[in-house]
Amino acid sequence: MPSIDLNCDCGESFGPWPMGDDAAILAHVTSANVACGGHAGDPSTMRRTVRLCKALGVAVGAHPGYPDLQGFGRRSMAIPPHEIEDLMLAQIGALAAIVQAEGVRLRHVKPHGALYNDAAHNPALAAAIARAVVSFNPDLVLVGLAGSVLLDAGQEVGLRVVGEGFADRTYEADGRLRQRQLAGALIDDPEQSLRQVLQIALHGQVQSHTGSTFMIQAGTICLHGDAPAAAQRAAIIRHGLEAAGVVVQPF
């Protein structure tokens, strides 16, 4: 019987500025990527999100990104790899302290936004992230875009890696995510999202923006918590997967 993990990016509120409905979406996923203060989040938001995950039985992961609160981490930054390594350690460590205080286990690390996309095809950047994760805790799982050099870098240092597919983003023919500023990059229709997720989970395939189909090895599917109606989409996808005989569980 096929199985797959559903994850969401969450904990992205900052001070009095809310982002998404974490309590609603976390009820439908099995793993959470919690913002660590780089692109979003703050200590109180982090702790509140970890407590939600603990109450709902959702696996907790760190979601470090470029230090870009104003741009929500979705702008590439020219930061040397050795500084990226340090930034990753600082952000992972911040969440790990809260996780430990709450009696929860930190399961994985998934870079955020522009850092995630840059590391998918930049070997030096990917290696810096992998070094940070393995030096912090070699038992952590590194999550990255399926088929990307980030996963290669993680395997090279001995980390367990998990390829990720997306429910609410479209792909280019080369397997990269279509850039957000381009037409058709975001999937707004939850039924279209479900069709894409089922194609990935059941057949290991995804259709690109151009209509071509390519193979994909994904052990987890991402849902963005800041997207409109994210919780409703998550509920539809989870129900659709289970109705199709797919076991939804943490990787």
- The residue-averaged pLDDT of 127-145 equals 98
Give CA–CA dist 36/46, Å, rounded: 7
pLDDT band at 236 (very low <50, low <70, confident <90, very high): very high
Which pLDDT does position 225 carry in this prediction?
79
| pLDDT over 80 (residue 60) | yes
pLDDT of 4 over the 80 cut: yes
> Cα torsion for 153, 155, 157, 160, to the nearest 10°?
120
Which residues contact residue 238 at a Cβ distance below 8 angstroms, ignoring those fewer than 6 apart?
6, 28, 29, 248
Q: Which CATH architecture has domain 3-248?
A: Alpha-Beta Barrel (3.20)
Residue 70, classified by CB atoms within 10 Å of its CB into exposed (0-12), middle (13-18) or buried (19+), is: exposed
- Residues 102-122 have a mean pLDDT of 97
| Residue extents of the structural domains in the chain | 3-248
Q: Does residue 18 carry a pLDDT above 80?
A: yes
**Model confidence pLDDT, tens digit, residues 238-250:** 999 999 999 999 9
- Please state the rounded mean pLDDT for residues 199-205: 96
Instruction: Say what the pLDDT of residue 227 is.
Output: 77
Residues in the chain: 251
- Stated pTM of the model: 0.95
Q: Name the one residue in this structure whose structure tokens are 């603990």.
A: 54
